[in-house]
């Protein structure tokens, strides 16, 4: 599958999951819904791997990466993102989460020595500026109080953990670990960690049997998790974190488009202006050249640079 199709799939699917998540709220605690989502997703992926006779046995070092992937990308960042929306609007949370694009650039530089050129940096600034313009009416209505600050910090932490998860996936792919099996194990570990979080919070493992909840759960597990993460992480390995991460800026625009079509959201000047800025930023980022790492600052994957001499990977 070519990169354009992978990118389009990622943006369209994750843009639509915002609408699907609305049907998950209410009866079941958010962390329990995340647990159900990844139990189902990992189970289906394991079944697919078993049917296709894919390798499922890996060593301890690989499982360490799977656990990190699960904890960072399929557990904590979701729990924190959902929790943040208790204190701030989903629009504001989306803006905060879009800072993962910058975090990816910084972390890729720290862990892999990858440098971004001016197009990637300028494009990311345009994109996040566009998101701010789109959601400005909601931002203007915010009052700066303890709840807002707390929600913002939680959302920032969630974005940071997701960015670290991106680095773990990129490292795993560089070592030849297959994405399908990595996601199966990562989602299984993510479900385990989220289940433990739910138990510690005494959330209660109730289930909502309404058709809306069931259909949205299946959509989020199969399309929003298996397909979208498969596409995104494949893209991450091919074009780098700085380009793949721009999806976090684009999918709020898709979510707004769906709101216009299905929820009667009015088209405003800020919506149109912000969308144009985001799309312009997308062009800059995708046309950016991936600058090679400096030969005297190489570092082992997932570790910050220790010295000028290249060293073998530590983990």
Q: How confident is the model at residue 290 (pLDDT cuts 50, 70, 90)?
A: low
- Of 313, 288, 303, residue with least CA distance to 115: 288
Q: What percent of the chain clears pLDDT 70, i.e. is strictly above it?
A: 84
Q: In the predicted model, is pLDDT for residue 285 greater than 50?
A: yes
**What is the pLDDT, as a whole number, of residue 265?**
67
Q: What is the average per-residue pLDDT within 97-115?
A: 83
Give the angle 150-156-157 at the CA atoms, nearest 5°.
90
Angle between helices 269-286 and 118-134 (to 10 degrees): 160
Contacts of 240 (CB under 8 A, 6+ apart): 108, 114, 170, 290
Q: What is the average per-residue pLDDT within 38-56?
A: 96
Among the ranges given (20-29, 128-137, 160-169, 183-192), the one the predictor scored with the smallest mean pLDDT: 128-137
- Of 204, 202, 179, 169, residue with least CA distance to 69: 169
Higher pLDDT, 66 or 203: 66
Q: What is the average per-residue pLDDT within 11-20?
A: 83
Q: In the predicted model, is pLDDT for residue 297 greater than 70?
A: no
C-alpha 271, offset from chain centre: 23
Among the ranges given (107-116, 214-223, 290-299), the one the predictor scored with the smallest mean pLDDT: 290-299
Q: In the predicted model, is pLDDT for residue 18 greater than 70?
A: yes
Quick: pLDDT tens for 216-231: 999 999 999 999 999 9
Q: What is the average per-residue pLDDT within 107-122?
A: 79
Which sequence spans correspond to the domains of the chain?
A: 3-19+36-291
Q: How confident is the model at residue 240 (pLDDT cuts 50, 70, 90)?
A: confident
């Amino acid at each position: 599958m070519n990169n354009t199709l992978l990118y389009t799939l990622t943006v369209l699917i994750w843009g639509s999951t915002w609408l699907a998540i609305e049907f998950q709220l209410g009866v079941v605690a958010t962390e329990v819904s995340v647990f159900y989502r990844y139990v189902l997703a990992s189970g289906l992926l394991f079944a697919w791997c078993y049917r296709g006779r894919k390798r499922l046995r890996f060593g301890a070092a690989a499982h360490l990466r799977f656990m990190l992937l699960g904890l960072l990308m399929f557990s904590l960042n979701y729990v924190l993102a959902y929790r943040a929306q208790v204190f701030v609007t989903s629009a504001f949370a989306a803006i905060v989460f879009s800072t993962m694009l910058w975090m990816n650039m910084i972390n890729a530089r720290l862990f892999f020595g990858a440098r971004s050129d001016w197009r990637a940096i300028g494009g990311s600034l345009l994109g996040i500026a566009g998101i701010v313009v789109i959601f400005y009416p909601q931002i203007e209505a915010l009052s700066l109080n303890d709840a807002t600050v707390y929600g913002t910090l939680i959302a920032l932490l969630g974005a940071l953990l997701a960015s670290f998860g991106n680095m773990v996936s990129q490292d795993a792919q560089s070592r030849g670990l297959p994405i399908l099996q990595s996601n199966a194990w990562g989602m299984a570990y993510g479900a385990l960690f989220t289940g433990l979080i739910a138990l510690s919070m005494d959330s209660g493992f109730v289930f909502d049997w309404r058709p809306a909840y069931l259909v949205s759960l299946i959509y989020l597990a199969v399309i929003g998790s298996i397909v979208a993460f498969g596409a995104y992480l494949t893209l991450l390995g091919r074009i780098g974190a700085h380009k793949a991460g721009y999806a976090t800026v684009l999918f709020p625009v898709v979510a707004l488009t769906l709101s216009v079509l299905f929820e009667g959201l009015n088209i405003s000047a800020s919506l149109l202006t912000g969308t144009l800025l985001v799309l312009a930023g997308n062009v800059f980022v995708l046309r950016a050249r991936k600058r090679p790492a400096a030969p005297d600052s190489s570092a082992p994957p997932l570790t910050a640079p220790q010295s000028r001499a290249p060293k073998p990977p530590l983990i």
